[in-house]
Each structure stands twice: as C-alpha cells, then as structure tokens.
C-alpha cells in the first residue's frame, strides 16, 4: 500500500513538472508566474504551519524556518511582480527581478546558515528581526540604486551575480555536510528534509549561473529546482512536526493502557494477581500444557485465623498480615511460580512443571520462614492443599481437590 502511495505521489509530481515544462515552452511568463506563486505559497505555508505547531512543539528550528521563509516569500513576491513582461514596475529592466532574486537567496541561505551552524546561539526573535531588517534594507537598496547590478540587457548576467551564485552553491554544500554530520537535537528531526532542500537549492543556483535569457531553459530549470527545495522542506516540517508529538502521545496512551491493564489484573492490597486474572491465565496455561503431557501443581492456601486477627487487632493489622505472607511467598518461590489472591484470606499458587511433592516441600519451607521472620506479637501460619494437573479438565478439578485438602489441614490446627 505504501509503495503504491509513493508511486502515485511520484507520478503526480512528475506529471506536474512535465506540464510546467511544456507550459514554459509555450508561454514562459505564465509559467514563471505559476511556479513563483507556488513557491511563494509554499514559503507562506511553512510560516503558517510553524506558527500553528508552536503551541505544542518546543523545537525552535520549526519557528525559525517559519520566520525565515516568511521573509523570503515576501522578496520572492517582489521578484515575481517585477519580472520582465509583468508591467508592475514600469521603467525597470530585467535587472530588477534578478536583484530581488539574489537578495532572496542571500536572505534564505544566510538564515539557513544561522539555523544549521548556530541552532542554540541564534534565538527565534534574533533571526526574525534580522530577516525583517534584511528584507527592508535590501529592498530599499535595490530601489535606491545601491544594490549591485545582476543582469544587463544584451549582455546577460553580471560577474557579481555569477560569483554570488557560485559562492552560494559552495555554501549550500558546506551546510549539507554539516547537517549530515551534526548531532543537534533540534536539527536532527529535519535532517533529511533540510538536506534535500539544500541539494535542490544548489542545483537551482547552478542553473541560474548558465542563462543569458530570462526566458531561457536554464532559468526555467532553476525555478523548478527552487520550488522543489521549498516543497521538500515544507513536507519535512509537516511530517516531523505532526509525527513526533503524536508519536509521543500514542506512546503515552500505550503506556497508560499498559498500566491500566496491569492494575486491572493485580490485587490492590498485596500486589499479586487477582482472581479474575488467575481464572484466565490458568485456562490458557493448561490448554498449552496438554500437548506436552507435563505435570504442574496447584496450591490452595488459606491464612489461619485471619478473621480472629481482624476482630482482635483490627483490619489494618489483618491487611499487614496478608502483605507479610505475600512478601514471604514472593521471596521464597521461583520467579516462574504464579501467585494470586483468590479471596479475602485465600491464595492460589501454580508451580509450573512441578510435582506435588516438590510443591509441598516448598510450602513447608515457607511455613518455617513465616515462623522465623514473624514481625507480629501473635503466630502467623497458613493451611494449604496441593493437587497436580496435566490439562484443562484436571486444572478445573484440581482447585476443588486442593481446597478440600486445605480444609483437612485447617481442622487439626488450633484456633485463636
């Protein structure tokens, strides 16, 4: 299913790019307007999404990218409106949109450099303020004639423009290496998308060093690469910004679900399994035991004189007695032995793959441990019965058999 979705997306992107290329051969000005407004929309979308997720995402990289591409989208808008043939700024040559192009790339790549190289030093406010000053100052310099010429009619690109593009290509690949090797926790979630954005930006800048006609093939290719760089960056921000919080949320939900499930199968006082869980567990265990033909042993345990202890010493003392017996059982039995509180003063214990004689010896050992470690002013003991089982039918009968044997032992013991 995922492969089909990826193939469909690739087909859609490929078809779109082909149609844009075909459009550029028929009406370049229309192509340029469409591809630029797509890029501008993507830049604004990065800002809007970064603002939307800022309430639940603590990653400052998202917010910085949002403010950066808001400024870049503003410059790209001026670049689009001033393009040759648009007629928005009469009296200006093709030099004007080219200057805006260079200004936009200087702001974009300068901001990316700050985000990638100094993710902790450059705050969101600092970056947003710097971008705003660069946009306003650069735009003013262009219209006042203080920005270097980038394109001369009849001659093509100026040395400043070409040199700037090559320097930016080198800078982009330097940033790419740093992103791949870096370990900053804020940048890491977006490493893949930033890396691809840098690659396509570098391809775009290289294409823009080759054209001599603003309606030429290289110019068209550069605009396509630049739009792709914006798109992959937006896609990465959207996916990671949504995936991480929701993954964390799902993890918390799963943890809470596991905790609730664990609580549901535990006895609140003693912490061992409860009767409901035991009934489910022993059925599944016995069914799996049948094909093996192995013997396991069930023990039914009843605390002696617990009612008298509650009546004489209080229910809180009775609860302490139950906890003391449970703790002694856990400390003296193997880890694979299941212990469950079956009723008020009753416990069931299952010894996997163990004969009744071995289980009986273990319970007698625990009786001696209770006597040796008794922390109460009155004697603590229990009565028990054992019964072997090999399958589900025997397991259902063994509980009653062990219960009967337990009562035989209890009858011969003195009462408090």
| Mean pLDDT computed over every residue of the chain | 83
CB of 345 closer than 8 Å to CB of 322: yes
CA dihedral 104, 209, 22, 5 (to 10 degrees): -70
* Weakest mean pLDDT among 50-64, 102-116, 159-173, 335-349: 50-64
Read off the pLDDT band of 192 (50, 70, 90): confident
Q: At how many degrees (to 10) do helices 159-181 and 95-117 cross?
A: 20
Q: For a pLDDT cut of 90, what percent of the chain falls above it?
A: 31
Q: For the segment 122-167, what is each residue's pLDDT rounded down to a tens digit?
A: 888 999 999 999 999 999 999 999 999 988 877 778 889 888 888 8
Q: Indicate if 295 and 250 belong to the same structural domain.
A: no
Number of domains in the chain: 2
Tell me which range, 29-33, 51-55, 57-61, 121-125, is most confidently predicted by mean pLDDT. 121-125
Residue 326 lies in a domain: yes
237 and 292 fall within a common domain: no
Mean pLDDT along residues 86-100: 86
Does residue 366 lie within any of the structural domains? yes
Q: Is 160 exposed, middle or buried (0-12, 13-18, 19+ CB in 10 A)?
A: middle
Contact 46, 227 (CB under 8 A): no
* 321 lies in the same domain as 202: no
pLDDT at 18 over 90: no
HEC sequence for the chain? CHHHHHHHHHHHHHHHHHHHHHHHHHCHHHHHHHHHHHHHHHHHHHHHHHHHHCCCCCCHHHHHHHHHHHHHHHHHHHHHHCCCCCCCCCCCCCHHHHHHHHHHHHHHHHHHHHHHHCCCCCCHHHHHHHHHHHHHHHHHHHHCCCCCCCEECCCEECHHHHHHHHHHHHHHHHHHHHHHHCCCCCCHHHHHHHHHHHHHHHHHHHHCCCCCCCCCHHHHHHHHHHHHHHHHHHHHHHHHHHHHHHHHHHHHHHHHHHHHHHHHCECCCCCCECHHHHHHHHHHHHHHHHHHCCCEEEEEEEECCHHHHHHHHCHHHHHHHHHHHHHHHHHHCCCCCEEEECCCCEEEEEECCCCHHHHHHHHHHHHHHHHHHCCCCCCCCEEEEEEEECCHHHHHHHHHHHHHHHHHHHHCCCCC
Same domain assignment for residues 220 and 300: no
The reply to whether 239 and 350 lie within a common domain is no
Residues 225 and 287 in one domain: no
The domain in which residue 181 lies consists of: 15-255
Q: What is the pLDDT of residue 215?
A: 58
**Residue 75 and residue 220 share a domain:** yes
Per-residue pLDDT at 248? 46
Residue 316 lies in a domain: yes
The reply to whether 235 and 109 lie within a common domain is yes
Return d(Cα 368, Cα 357) in angstroms, integer.
17
pTM value > 0.75: no
User: Does 233 lie in the same domain as 145?
Assistant: yes
CATH of residue 56's domain is: 1.20.1070
User: Is residue 335 one of the residues assigned to a domain?
Assistant: yes
Q: Flag whether pLDDT at 212 surpasses 60.
A: no
Comparing 213 with 256, which gets the higher pLDDT?
256
Residue 50 and residue 164 in one domain: yes
Domain boundary pick from 255, 290, 320: 255
**Does any domain span residue 263?**
no
């Amino acid at each position: 299913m995922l492969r089909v979705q990826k193939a469909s997306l690739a087909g859609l992107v490929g078809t779109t790019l082909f149609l844009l290329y075909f459009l550029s051969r028929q009406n370049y000005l229309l192509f340029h307007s469409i591809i630029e407004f797509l890029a501008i929309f993507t830049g604004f979308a990065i800002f809007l999404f970064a603002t939307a997720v800022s309430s639940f995402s603590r990653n400052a990289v998202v917010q910085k990218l949002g403010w950066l591409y808001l400024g870049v989208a503003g410059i790209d808008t001026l670049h689009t409106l001033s393009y040759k043939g648009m007629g928005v700024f009469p009296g200006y040559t093709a030099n004007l949109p080219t200057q805006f192009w260079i200004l936009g790339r200087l702001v974009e790549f300068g901001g990316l450099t700050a985000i990638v190289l100094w993710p902790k030093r450059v705050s969101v406010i600092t970056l947003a303020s710097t971008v705003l000053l660069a946009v306003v100052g650069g735009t003013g310099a262009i219209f006042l004639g203080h920005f270097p010429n980038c394109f001369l009619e009849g001659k093509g690109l100026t040395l400043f423009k070409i040199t700037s593009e090559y320097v930016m290509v080198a800078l982009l690949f330097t940033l790419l290496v740093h992103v791949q090797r870096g370990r900053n926790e804020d940048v890491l979630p977006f490493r893949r998308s930033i890396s691809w954005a840098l690659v396509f930006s570098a391809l775009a800048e290289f294409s823009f060093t080759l054209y001599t006609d603003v309606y030429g093939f290289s110019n068209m290719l550069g605009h396509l690469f630049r739009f792709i760089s914006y798109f992959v960056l937006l896609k990465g921000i959207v996916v990671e910004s949504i995936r991480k919080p929701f993954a964390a949320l799902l993890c918390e939900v799963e943890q809470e679900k596991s905790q609730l499930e664990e609580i549901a199968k535990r006895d609140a006082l003693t912490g061992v399994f409860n009767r409901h869980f035991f009934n489910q567990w022993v059925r599944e265990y016995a069914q799996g035991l049948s094909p093996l033909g192995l013997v396991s042993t069930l023990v039914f345990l009843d605390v002696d004189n617990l009612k008298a202890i509650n009546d004489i010493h209080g229910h809180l003392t009775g609860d302490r007695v139950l906890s003391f017996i449970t703790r002694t059982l856990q400390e003296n039995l193997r880890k694979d032995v299941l212990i469950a509180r079956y009723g008020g003063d009753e416990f069931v214990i299952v010894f996997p793959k163990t004969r009744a004689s071995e289980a009986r010896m273990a319970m007698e050992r625990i009786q001696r441990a209770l006597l040796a470690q008794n922390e109460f002013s009155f004697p603590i003991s229990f009565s028990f019965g054992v019964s072997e089982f090999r399958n589900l039918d025997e397991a259902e009968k063994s509980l009653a058999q062990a219960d009967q044997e337990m009562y035989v032992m209890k009858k011969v013991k003195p009462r408090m």
